[in-house]
Each structure stands twice: as C-alpha cells, then as structure tokens.
C-alpha cells in the first residue's frame, strides 16, 4: 500500500460531494501515476466537473481525501492547490477578456518571479500567439482563447494538469496541435487528466480511462478494455 | 432669466470643472475598485474620506505644518483602517446578496460618522492655508483647487499605473474579471480583497485631505462624496477602471456647467437627475461597461 502512495502523484480516495439531496460524486477513488495521460469519461451530469472542482479546491468536498505527492490537499484554498502544481482548464473557456494575452499569463503566480515574463513569451510563441501578446484576450478567436487558456495552465509549471473538454468546439488542425502539446507535456513527466466526450480523442490519447456514472466510478482500465465493458456501454446507451 | 455667456465664463466653467473632476475621479476610483473586485457597494466610502479630512485638520491644527504633507499620514493610516474593516467585517459579506453588503457598509458609515461627531463635535472646521487665486486671461484659478488637482491627478495616475504595470495590479484586475479563474491561477483572492479595500480607503483619504484644505469640513460631509463617486462610476461604467477617470471629469464639468444656468440649489440637483437618467438609459455606463 505504501509504495502505491509513493507511485501516485495524485491520489483521490473515497471522495464524496453532495449538493442538497443529490450526490454529485460518490466515494470516488482514482490514483494517477506520474507521466501518464488519463481520461475521465461518463454521461452528462455524472460528476466529472464536480470532481475537478473538488480536486482544485473550488468546492469543498463532503468526504474523502485528495493527496498530491502524498500530501493532503483537500481543504486547501484553490490558490494553494494551484501553487503546489495542480493546474486546470474549464469546460467553457475562461480567459480574462480585458487583460491582454500576455497579461493573462502574467497573472499566474510562480515561484520564480523574474523568469515569468520570459516563460510567458515562450509559451505564447509555443502556441503561435506571440504576435497577439498585446491584444485583449476577449478579442481573440475561440481557438486562440482555447490555446491561451491551455498555456496559462502551463505557467504554473504544473505537475498535474486537469483539462475539461479540451477538444470541444476545436477544428481539426487546432485539435492536432493540442493533442501534440498534451503528449509533449506527458513526455516532460507531467500527469494529465482529461474530461472528454470525443471518444476518438480519448481512445487515441489516453493510456488509462476512468468511467463515472451518477457520481460513482463504474469502471477503469485501458481504453480498449473500457470500450468493451458492459457497464460502460450500459451507462452510455441505457439498460 | 437672461444670462450673457462670455468666453471667459465658459473657460472658467471648463477649468473649474476639470479641477473638481480630477478629485472626483480619484475618490471614485476607490469605490470602483471595491465594487469591481468584490461586487460590494461601499456606502461608507465618503465617511472614509471624512476621516482623511479630519486627519489633515488635526495635523494642521496641532502641528501647524504644511497640510499637504498630511497626505503622507492620512493615506497610510486609512490604508490600514481599510484593511482592518475588510478583515473584521466586509469579507463576511463579499459573496452574500448585495443587500447584506449595502446594509453592513451603511452601518459602518453611521457608526463612524457618530464616532466623529462625539470626538470632534459637528462644528465646521477649516484649514486656512492656501487662499486666493491666480487670474489668467479672465479665468480665476483658485490656488488650493489647483494644488488639489495636481495631487489628485498624480495619485490617480499612480493608481492606474499600479493596476496596469505591477503583478498585484494584474491580480486585482484579474480578480475583478473572474475571481474563480484568478484562484486557479494561484491568486490569493482574499488577499486581493484585503489590499483593494486598503487602497480604496487610501484614495478616499487623499480626497478628504485635499477637500479639507479647500472647504469647511464636518462629520457628515462624506455622504455627498459617496453619492458623487457612485454617480461617477455609473457614468464611467461600473467595474471599468479607466471609466472612473472619464466619469469624474464629466461630473465636474456638468456640475460647473449647470451652475452657469441654474441657481446653486438647482445645480446641486443636476447630479441626482443625471444619475437617474443614466441608470434608465445607459445602465452599463457611457463607455458601454464590461465586455464580459
């Protein structure tokens, strides 16, 4: 057991969140090893985003624990979780519309303050937004905002990256860029957890998939196994 | 009523309007910051200004030193008072319905005004320091208003520079656009709230110090400034920080312009009528408000 804790960079155990009478997340346990890409799937309302919110501290869980590198992070305020190295994007794009693209990145708090500007410029160049650095984020196209939000997470120098539907509303070219970028993050040793509805993306990208239904984890395993799993098919297509 | 309007009168109106406007902008920027970051309408803002005014009055009365130097005291002191208010009370209502924060800051305002009345009585107090005016081409420039304009301009531009150029300024702007996203970017939003209230109180205090050198002060003087600041941010667009600058200048000009045509009592009412009109016709502010 102890070396399993050692091996997991993020370990969620028996996590529960209730909203009034509805149990949005019910005793969920997930363990993420470093340097891998994980998928989190499930029908609408199955608790995927709520799980992200609990991990990042935006909402306070009712039960269970979240450990990051062996250390409890449940109960920490969101900015502390972020500063430790857990970054996330949102299902609906959330850039700061009235900050410039560059400022959007500079808002992120980092340990090395002096390197922030250089890193921000590098990241903008990485997603080819360097010429739009001084443009207000609200004036960027949908795809550009999506990329901006993505690299904003990278400003944290995150160990764990939580991506909420990165492929939604994204065209082919942009999607391929994003997927390549995500793989590169993995190669750098970061751990990625992706909520995604596009099964092609999930199957092509993820090494291990968790399936939620009504807030409970009903299955997990390699994508090809998950595709054949009775309970998963049932959850998606009805009984 | 027949009025002959000479070019000198128009010049006078514009100059006086801009001189008064810079001060309105500075004070209103404080109110705009608190509203933008926390969605709290701070009804006690004018009272914080009054406290700045009394700081200057007592500084001059007791020490007899140049009252403009008292800004070096009133601003830091009120910065700390503001942080104290936020920490002890206002933070409890940040995410509560707007009525809660309105009632709380109203209560704070009443308590502070009564405290000032008990401590210093309701007597009108004056700082007799810089009197008289320069006359340039038929336009009279009151010395104390001119200096107040200079201070207000420098402090306001300094505050904009801080918001624009510094890390913490960016955190303040980010928080006012989306607190949740700021949090996941590692911004300590509670800390942003704390210092925002401090900065806003210091801006109000600077206004108070400058007002004390121009006009007689008394404990209830602040209400007018709360109201005018509110009008300024409505004119400029709530949550739109550069809008406060424009709104302040505009209010100064409108007040002076209406005094050309109307009696003093009526011209005081113009600002109130304007507030109602703007809220009816253009509730997001003349600049169009927030893009989000």
What ipTM, to 2 d.p.?
0.89
Domain range summary for chain A, segments of one domain joined by +: 2-237
Kindly report the nearest CA distance between residue B91 and chain A, in angstroms: 16
pLDDT at B291: 37
Q: What ranges in chain B are assigned the alpha helix state H?
A: 7-38, 45-58, 71-88, 98-120, 143-165, 167-177, 179-184, 189-214, 222-236, 241-261, 264-281
pLDDT at B277: 86
Q: How confident is the model at residue A184 (pLDDT cuts 50, 70, 90)?
A: very high
CB of A97 within 8 Å of a chain B CB? The answer is: yes
Tokens representing A51? 């799980």
- What would the pLDDT profile of A27-37 be if each residue is shown by its tens digit? 999 999 999 99
CA nearest A56 in B: which residue? B184
Q: Are A28 and A212 in contact (CB under 8 A)?
A: yes
Mean pLDDT score, A204-227: 92
Q: How far is CA B124 from CA A134, B51, B264, in A?
A: 51, 14, 20
Give the percent of chain B with pLDDT over 70: 96
The CATH superfamily holding the domain A2-237 is: P-loop containing nucleotide triphosphate hydrolases (3.40.50.300)
Mean pLDDT score, A51-74: 95
| Phi, psi for B14 (deg, rounded to 5) | -65, -45
| pLDDT, averaged across chain B | 90
| Phi, psi for B274 (deg, rounded to 5) | -60, -40
| Phi, psi for B217 (deg, rounded to 5) | -115, 155
**What is the distance between the alpha carbons of residues B14 and B254, in angstroms, rounded to a whole number?**
9
> Residues B264, B266, B268, B271: is their CA dihedral positive or negative?
negative
CB of A84 within 8 Å of a chain B CB? The answer is: no
Kindly report the nearest CA distance between residue A159 and chain B, in angstroms: 14
Give the range among A59-63, B2-6, B64-68, B118-122 with minimum mean pLDDT: B2-6
CB-count exposure of residue A161 (10 Å: 0-12, 13-18, 19+): buried
Q: Do B290 and A78 touch (CB under 8 A)?
A: no
Q: Are strands A37-41 and B133-136 parallel, antiparallel or unpaired?
A: unpaired
pLDDT at A239: 57
Give the range among A132-146, B56-70, B242-256, B264-278 with minimum mean pLDDT: B264-278
Query: Does B3 have pLDDT greater than 50?
Result: yes
Query: Does B74 have pLDDT greater than 70?
Result: yes
Specify the higher pLDDT residue, B292 or A2: A2
CB of A106 within 8 Å of a chain B CB? The answer is: yes
Query: Does A226 have pLDDT greater than 70?
Result: yes
Question: What is the model's pTM?
Answer: 0.90
């Amino acid at each position: 057991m102890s070396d399993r804790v050692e091996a997991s960079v993020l370990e969620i155990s028996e996590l529960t969140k209730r909203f009034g009478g509805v149990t949005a997340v019910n005793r969920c346990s997930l363990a993420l090893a470093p340097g891998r890409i994980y998928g989190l799937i499930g029908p609408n309302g199955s608790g995927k985003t709520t799980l992200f919110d609990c991990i990042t501290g935006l909402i306070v869980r009712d039960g269970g624990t979240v450990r990051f590198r062996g250390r409890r992070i449940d109960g920490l305020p969101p900015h502390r979780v972020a500063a430790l190295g857990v970054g996330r994007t949102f299902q609906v794009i959330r850039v700061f519309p009235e900050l410039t693209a560059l400022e959007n990145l500079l808002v992120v708090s980092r340990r090395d303050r002096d390197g922030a500007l250089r890193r921000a410029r590098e990241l903008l160049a990485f997603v080819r937004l360097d010429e739009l650095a001084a443009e207000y984020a609200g004036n960027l196209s949908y795809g550009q905002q999506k990329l901006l939000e993505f690299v904003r997470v990278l400003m944290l120098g995150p160990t764990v990256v939580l991506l909420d539907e990165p492929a939604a509303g994204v065209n082919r070219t942009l999607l391929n860029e994003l997927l390549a970028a995500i793989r590169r993050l993995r190669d750098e040793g970061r751990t990625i957890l992706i909520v995604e509805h596009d099964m092609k993306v999930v199957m092509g990208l993820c090494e291990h998939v968790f399936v939620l239904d009504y807030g409970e984890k009903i299955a997990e395993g390699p994508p090809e196994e998950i595709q054949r799993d009775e309970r998963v098919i049932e959850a998606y297509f009805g009984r | 009523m027949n009025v002959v309007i000479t070019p000198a009168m128009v010049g006078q109106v514009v100059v006086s309007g801009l001189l008064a406007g810079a001060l309105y902008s500075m004070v209103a920027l404080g109110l705009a910051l608190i509203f933008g970051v926390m969605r709290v309408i701070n009804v006690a803002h004018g009272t914080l200004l009054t406290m700045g005014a009394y700081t200057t009055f007592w500084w001059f009365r007791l020490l007899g030193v140049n009252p403009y130097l008292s800004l070096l005291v009133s601003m830091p002191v009120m910065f700390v008072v503001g942080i104290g208010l936020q920490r002890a009370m206002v933070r409890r209502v940040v995410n509560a319905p707007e009525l809660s924060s309105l009632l709380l800051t109203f209560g704070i305002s009443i308590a502070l005004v009564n405290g000032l009345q008990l401590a210093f009585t309701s007597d009108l107090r004056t700082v007799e320091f810089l009197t008289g005016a320069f006359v340039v081409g038929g336009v009279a420039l009151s010395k104390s208003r001119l200096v107040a304009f200079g201070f207000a301009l420098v402090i306001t531009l300094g505050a904009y520079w801080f918001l624009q150029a510094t890390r913490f300024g960016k955190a303040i702007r980010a928080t006012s656009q989306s607190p949740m996203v700021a949090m996941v970017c590692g911004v300590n939003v509670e800390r942003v709230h704390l210092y925002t209230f401090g900065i806003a109180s210091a801006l109000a205090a600077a206004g108070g110090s400058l007002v004390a050198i121009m006009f007689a002060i008394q404990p209830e003087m602040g209400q007018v400034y709360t109201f005018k600041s509110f009008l300024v941010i409505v004119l400029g667009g709530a949550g739109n920080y550069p809008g406060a600058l424009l709104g302040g200048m505009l209010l100064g000009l409108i007040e002076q312009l209406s005094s050309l045509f109307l009696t003093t009592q009526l011209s005081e009412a113009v600002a109130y009528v304007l507030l109602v009109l703007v809220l009816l016709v253009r509730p997001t502010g003349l600049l169009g408000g927030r893009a989000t």
